A and B are shown apart, each in its own frame.
Chain A
Amino acid sequence: DSGVTQTPKHLITATGQRVTLRCSPRSGDLSVYWYQQSLDQGLQFLIQYYNGEERAKGNILERFSAQQFPDLHSELNLSSLELGDSALYFCASSVVSGVGGFNTQYFGPGTRLTVL
């Protein structure tokens, strides 16, 4: 158990809908990262937050947004869902921002999103 929790574990929804995925980082970790894992694209970085502020952005679609709250939990919002958004969404956390040194990213168990 990495100490990172994600809810829900599974989510089934229809095209065009909007969903929210939630992540609670390990105690004491200030950075939260979101990744998407699909069969064809592999594991891809979406976005990073550090202590409430956006720190880095990857190939995140405009239909997707995220935020980190004062209690450090984070939410990933996916809207106007398409079939191709079906994937595993992982949250990871680390102690600091990572700039200037190495910090282990601890991954949560993931949320499996199925868009029908």
Chain B
Amino acid sequence: QKEVEQDPGPLSVPEGAIVSLNCTYSNSAFQYFMWYRQYSRKGPELLMYTYSSGNKEDGRFTAQVDKSSKYISLFIRDSQPSDSATYLCAMSASYGKLTFGQGTILTVHP
């Protein structure tokens, strides 16, 4: 079993929809939780990070971490076609090595 599980999708939603992306993990030592976005043929870029449990909001994006359930989420409000990409959750125990989920392919259609 992988340390980090993420549904690869694909996920297809209409423009303006709220998107929910999730990951579960098994390693209790993880403290840093990140979401990366990867466009086709590009390297991943950091969207948001959270330390330990809690919520964090940045514009249309909200990240949630529930360490008791070992579950993290990313919500995208008012989704746009430009949000179409692969979203990767990533985690770290003592920041350095990142453990990634498989990635969820998201398509937002006009």
Q: Are A48 and B103 in contact (CB under 8 A)?
A: no
A42 to chain B: which residues have CB within 8 Å? 88, 100-103
| B18 within 8 Å of A (CB atoms) | no
| CB-CB nearest in chain A for B103 | A42
| CB-CB nearest in chain A for B46 | A104
| B9 within 8 Å of A (CB atoms) | no
Most buried by A among B41, B43, B98: B43
Q: Which of A11-19, A63-71, A73-81, A106-114 contacts B (4 or more CB under 8 A)?
A: A106-114
1/0 per position for B39-51, CB-CB distance to A under 8 A?
0011111100101
Q: Are A43 and B88 in contact (CB under 8 A)?
A: yes
| Complex: A58 Cα to B88 Cα, angstroms | 19
Q: Are B43 and A109 in contact (CB under 8 A)?
A: yes
Residue tally, chain B, CB below 8 Å to A: 22
| Complex: A37 Cα to B94 Cα, angstroms | 22
- Residues 50-103 of B contacting A (Cβ, < 8 Å): 51, 88, 92, 94-103
A107 to chain B: which residues have CB within 8 Å? 36, 43-45
Q: Are A43 and B46 in contact (CB under 8 A)?
A: no
Q: Are B95 and A45 in contact (CB under 8 A)?
A: no
Q: Are B103 and A98 in contact (CB under 8 A)?
A: no
| Complex: A112 Cα to B10 Cα, angstroms | 23
A33 to chain B: which residues have CB within 8 Å? 96-98
Contact of B100 among A43, A48, A55, A104 (CB under 8 A): A43
| Complex: A92 Cα to B43 Cα, angstroms | 9
Contact of A56 among B42, B43, B96 (CB under 8 A): B96
Q: Are A100 and B94 in contact (CB under 8 A)?
A: yes
Q: Are B95 and A44 in contact (CB under 8 A)?
A: no
User: B residues within 8 Å of A by Cβ?
Assistant: 32, 36, 41-46, 49, 51, 88, 92, 94-103
User: A residues within 8 Å of B by Cβ?
Assistant: 2, 4, 31, 33, 35, 42-45, 48, 55-56, 58, 90, 92, 97-110
Query: Beyond A2-B43, A99-B95: 5 further Cβ-contacts under 8 Å?
Result: A33-B96, A42-B102, A43-B44, A45-B98, A110-B43
